[in-house]
Amino acid sequence: MDARLCVLLSAAVLIRCVLLCIGVYQDQNLQLKYTDVDYHVFTDASRFITQGQSPYERSTYRYTPLLALLLTPNVLLSAHCGKLLFVGCDLLSALLLFRLLVLRGSSRSSARVYCGLWLFNPLTIGVSTRGNAESLLAVLVLSSLLCLESRRRTSAALLFGLSVHMKIYPVTYALPIALSLTGAPSRGRGLIQNLLRCFNRDLLQFAAVSGSVFLALNLIFYSMYGWEFLQESYLFHLTRRDIRHNFSPYFYMLYVTAEHRWSGVLSLVCFLPQLLLLLLSSLAFRSDLPFCCFIHTAVFVSFNKVCTSQYFLWYLCLLPLVVSRLTLGWRRGLGLLLLWFVGQALWLSPAYYLEFEGWNTFALIWIAGLLFLLINSLILGQIISHYRPADAQLKKTD
């Protein structure tokens, strides 16, 4: 392994270990706990599994039983095993990013710098050490992309099917992956011929393998836990009306219409802007799969009905692959990064007064959420306009 990369990983491990120790002290001695409430939900669900019961006996557990199974060491060995797993996935994600960056033409020295964007990102470190499972998804998504870039399509399909089972959002990558496997349409052929050309061997094999993995896991857990598994793992997220304050531009609308009969329909309508933008971005950026997946995820998170800080990791794990091909100057890049943090700070201020002081700041939170959406849209526009794919870079070099 690259010696300098080992130094980076060692420093990243040290930082995370220190925070894990601080978290243990804070949980035991301070009123404000370090460990995220979701981690306790995971652990309780794992406890029910070890007792031969359903993980859904734990209220608010709305994930696949596979996650609870992975975290049974929390119950059998130590309550900190899950956090160690998530930290390990953080480090593995950095290694996957390094391999992807080198495979996509970055020098090893540049790849190390870009990996640092993930390893030393405060949000990345905080989410995993507090006990959120997002780094598991990062590993699965990055592994799928690495296998696709390496033309190991069967392995990619297995990992993709598993990632969609673990959390539904990677299903939005299905169209970009399908388009990348079919290639560009030929102008000399008719519409029907181009459509038939889409159903090639690679695409059919990928769909069959990934679909089989997804269906097999669902059938296994459905046979064990019945309809409750489908409801809590998948259907709940489609009709979810989360009226708690979050970054979503829809949260206040869903909050004030929560008692109306048509609020359920309204929550489904909120998916339409997402679907339209995902379709357009798939067609526009199909030639570069990692970049297309990054745009997809950023759009999905920004326009989702529920948007919390941990969701940002869904696209931040792909950001190093994008930054490596940006022509943005470092000053403009830092300015956009600062603007992104300012947008969060403007939201966190009224959120603090609502949560800790009891003030009615719902309207201010909603306005801050709209502003944060505008900032995200501006940053995405800058990234798209300054992104140069590999073929463009090669032409410029020649």
Q: What is the predicted pLDDT for the residue at 149?
A: 92
Cα gap 216→228, rounded to integer Å? 17
Is residue 172 assigned to a domain?
A: no
Q: φ, ψ for residue 273 (rounded to 5)?
A: -60, -40
Domain range for 356 is: 240-389
Is residue 349 assigned to a domain?
A: yes
User: Which token pair is 21?
Assistant: 């120790």
Q: φ, ψ for residue 105 (rounded to 5)?
A: 105, 0
Q: What is the predicted pLDDT for the residue at 362?
A: 85
User: Which token pair is 116?
Assistant: 């640092």
Question: How many domains, the chain?
Answer: 2
What is the DSSP code string of 129-172? HTT--HHHHHHHHHHHHHHHHTT-HHHHHHHHHHHHHH-SGGGG
Say which amino acid occupies 298.
A
Cα gap 45→50, rounded to integer Å? 9
339-355 average pLDDT score: 89
Q: What is the predicted pLDDT for the residue at 1?
A: 63
User: Which token pair is 37?
Assistant: 């409430």
- Residues of the chain above pLDDT 90, percent: 62
Cα gap 213→227, rounded to integer Å? 19
Is residue 51 assigned to a domain?
A: yes
Is residue 158 assigned to a domain?
A: no
Q: Is the Cβ–Cβ distance between 293 and 281 less than 8 Å?
A: no
- Other CB atoms closer than 10 Å to residue 57's CB: what's the count? 14
User: Which token pair is 141?
Assistant: 């998504």
Contacts 24+ apart (CB under 8 A), 231-238: 232/56, 232/61, 232/62, 232/63, 233/62, 233/63, 233/64, 234/168, 236/62, 237/62, 237/168, 238/268
Q: What is the predicted pLDDT for the residue at 136?
A: 95
The pLDDT tens digits for 76-132 are 999 999 999 999 999 999 999 999 999 998 999 999 999 999 999 999 999 999 999
Q: What is the predicted pLDDT for the residue at 241?
A: 61
Boundary of a domain, candidates 78, 103, 137: 78
Q: Is the Cβ–Cβ distance between 71 and 43 less than 8 Å?
A: yes
Is residue 298 assigned to a domain?
A: yes
pLDDT band for position 53 (cuts 50, 70, 90): very high
Boundary of a domain, candidates 13, 44, 78: 78
Is residue 291 assigned to a domain?
A: yes
Boundary of a domain, candidates 43, 78, 113: 78
Is residue 364 assigned to a domain?
A: yes
User: Which residues, including other chains, have CB under 8 Å from residue 9's CB and lie 6 or more apart?
Assistant: 91, 94, 95, 119
Q: How far is CA 105 from the centre of its chain?
A: 24
Is residue 254 assigned to a domain?
A: yes
Give residue for tokens 């997402």. Answer: 274
Q: What is the predicted pLDDT for the residue at 392?
A: 46
In the chain, DSSP assigns E strands to: none
Q: What is the predicted pLDDT for the residue at 120?
A: 94
Helix (H, G, I), strand (E, B) or coil at 360: coil
User: Poorest-confidence range of 59-68, 122-131, 240-249, 327-336?
Assistant: 240-249
The pLDDT tens digits for 198-239 are 667 888 899 999 999 999 999 999 999 999 998 888 887 776
